[in-house]
Amino acid sequence: MALSPSGPPQLSRKFLLLSFGLIVLAGVLIYANSLGGQFVWDDETLVLNNPYIKDWSHLPTIFTSRLGSVAKEAGAFYRPVQTFTYLVDYSLGRLNVVGYHVVNMIWHILAALSVFGLIQMLFKDGRLSLLTALLFIVHPIHTEAVAYVSGRADSLVTFFMFLSFILYLKHGEKGGVFTLGGMTLCYVLALLSKELGLILPPLILFYHYAFAKPVDKKAFGILAGTLTGYVLWRLLVVGTASVSVGIPPAFLERLPGVFIAFTTYYRLLLLPFNLHMEYGGFLFSFKEPKAIIGMILLALTLFYVLRKRRQDPFLFFAVGWFLITLLPSSNLLFPINAYMSEHWLYIPSVGFILIVARFLISLSGGQKVRGFAFVAIVGILAFYSVLTVRQNSYWSNGINFYKRMLHYAPHSSRLYNNLAKAYHDAGKNDELIEILKSAIQLQSDNALAHNNLGNAYKGIGDMQGAIRSYNQAIAIDPGHAGPYYNLSMIYSDMDGKEEDAIAFLNRSLELSPNFSKAYTKLGLIYLKRGETEKAIKLLNRARGLDPDDPEIYHSLGYVYVQTGDHPKAMDMYLKAIEAEPNYVQAYHDLAIIYFTTEKYQKAVEYCDKAVALGYSDPSLLEAVKPHR
């Protein structure tokens, strides 16, 4: 069965509605259990502590900065559309994680719908389009791109890139300036969603080659011009950086990992068990069994497909799609910080799924095996759906997530470090020191682990141990702001060390100008020194960077109390409670203000709220007692 880009007329409205309904329903049902997942891993940088998504005034900065440049540490990636979507999410629901997961699910559904539309435009076969889209939306390999908030870039680039491809094909059929405009806009959005958008023009040329179709020169020229403009924008305005860490390995050193990745990808697409992140940047030998298998598989695949190219252009196109879209993340063209990653299969998987979908549809065409084909289709969809639902559960919280990954990557220092942070965030501090020592034992120059070990020592009152760890972190990575801030917290409580604390805070702000907590602490130190105006200015700067932090509002309230401005102090305390309804200290301090201003009923009300949350101040309780 050799499909080619030709066939019956447009699909009926009924079939389209049924197809769209099935795709949407499948997406909602299998990702419903991902909505309760917490923020994990890069979510902390890209969402939780990202000031750029918390105020629309940062919109120009979003489109002129690389991903992760919240501090002065601009990463290799430029994905402003991804950050923009987080800005919209935050505007609608602040840091309610459910909202971010809902939006991820929606984008995955839109990506699957774009798969349906593109396959229909390419092959004019409704059954093939629907089955490909359904297999795409339920396949477990995509959970990393959907259940992980920071994985959103994959569905964004897929949707916009495929939509641009669809409009390119439509222009070839019907022409029209609006089609060209839509195609160009979608391609721009694809490029600004993820760098993989670069692959669209080569993919279109390969389509024309595979099916011997003439190129739409006008539309393709516009795409090529858009790509050129994007490259110049990156080089001249945004800048670029390496996606590898440390000294990049040579091509021949990376090559065995390419073949091992190919073997593993093949297995994961067929039998998606034991899915996980953190494959790491390991180097392998050509003697590795998986490397040998990968070489043989790739050679046999290329030999067979090239031999059958004229007889079966569909197969040639599907395999070529897989290889071309995987090429940028293959470690062949340039070194990357991992030899493979599951979310890199998001777009390449379409090529594999196309082959599976065609095989299943060809089975259904035989009278004797039609029933078997139907059972096989339903069975595969159900099998993948169950695995996806199960995989979603591993993203429920940081502890589960990192423990599972350590099962597959027991030698990863950063996983131990991240697990320790997850335990700390969950209030489970008993195992922190040993976990962090394990991280350091695996990688002695892990600056983050040394910094977090300092936090663990500080948590048990060992200030000297904390200072040693923070200084070790600075010695390893003097460009990281965290240890300086943490040292300032210790020195600010020591007699005669106030200037040292200020120096550490200023250094942390030099390295991370958007570090809201450093502004807060610096403001409180200046308040202690009697420099009230400076304190207010610094705290308001912190508030502008992180309007969700109740500590900032509480600190401003404390400053206004010291200046005697009770109305402003009360407003700040109420904002602290709005940001964190269980912020007990704010209830207590409001009770104090109401009592001192002789508003006793209000004082009793807020005192009772503080007590209900576990706060006990005998003097306040005794003071309000006569007014109950």
For residue 87, is it within any domain?
yes
DSSP 583-617: -HHHHHHHHHHHHHTT-HHHHHHHHHHHHHTT---
Q: What is the mean pLDDT of the chain?
A: 92
Q: What percent of the residues of the chain are helix, what percent strand, and what percent coil, each to the nearest 5?
A: 75, 0, 25
pLDDT tens across 168-224, in order? 999 999 999 999 999 999 999 999 999 999 999 999 999 999 999 999 999 999 999
Three-state SS for 478-524 is: CCCHHHHHHHHHHHCCCCCCHHHHHHHHHHHHHHCCCCHHHHHHHHH
User: Looking at residue 5, what is its pLDDT?
Assistant: 65
Tell me, yes or no, whether 454 lies in a domain. no
Whether 341 maps to a domain, the answer reads no
Residues whose CB falls within 8 Å of the CB of residue 410, separated by 6 or more in sequence, listed in order: none
- Is the pLDDT at 75 greater than 70? The verdict is no
Identify the band that residue 6 occupies on the pLDDT scale cut at 50, 70 and 90: low
The residue range of the domain holding 198 is 14-238+350-393
Helix axes 370-393, 13-31, angle to 10 degrees: 40
Query: Residue range 460-485: average pLDDT?
Result: 95
pLDDT at 72: 45
Rounded mean pLDDT, 502-523:
95
CA 142 centroid distance within chain: 13
Tell me whether residue 202 is in a domain.
yes
Total number of domains in the chain: 2
| Residue 7 confidence class, pLDDT cut points 50, 70, 90 | low
Query: Where does a domain end: 333, 362, 393?
Result: 393
Q: Does 194 fall in a domain?
A: yes
For the ranges 256-260, 273-277, 511-515, 606-610, the maximum mean pLDDT occurs at 256-260
Question: What is the average per-residue pLDDT within 32-39?
Answer: 95
- Mean pLDDT score, 77-94: 95
Side chain identity, residue 6:
S
Residue 617 has pLDDT above 90, yes or no: no
Query: Which range has the worst mean pLDDT, 98-102, 426-430, 591-595?
Result: 426-430
Q: What angle do the packed helices 447-459 and 481-491 form, to 10 degrees?
A: 20
CA atoms within 13 A on the CB side of 147: 30
Please give the model's pTM, rounded to 2 decimal places.
0.90
Of 393, 424, 453, the residue at which a domain comes to its end is 393
Both tokens assigned to 57: 């005034």
**What CATH number does residue 618 fall under?**
1.25.40.10
Among 342, 362, 393, where does a domain finish?
A: 393
Residue 435 lies in a domain: no
- The first and second tokens of residue 253, run together, are 């050193």
**Backbone region of residue 589 per phi and psi (left: phi > 0; alpha: psi in -120 to 50; beta: other values):** alpha
Instruction: Calculate mean pLDDT across residues 348-354.
Output: 98
- Evaluate whether residue 261 is within a structural domain: no
- Alpha-carbon Rg for the chain, nearest whole angstrom, is 28
532 in any annotated domain: no
Give the mean model confidence (pLDDT) for residues 372-396. 95
Residue 73 has pLDDT above 90, yes or no: no
Q: Span 111-119, mean pLDDT?
A: 98
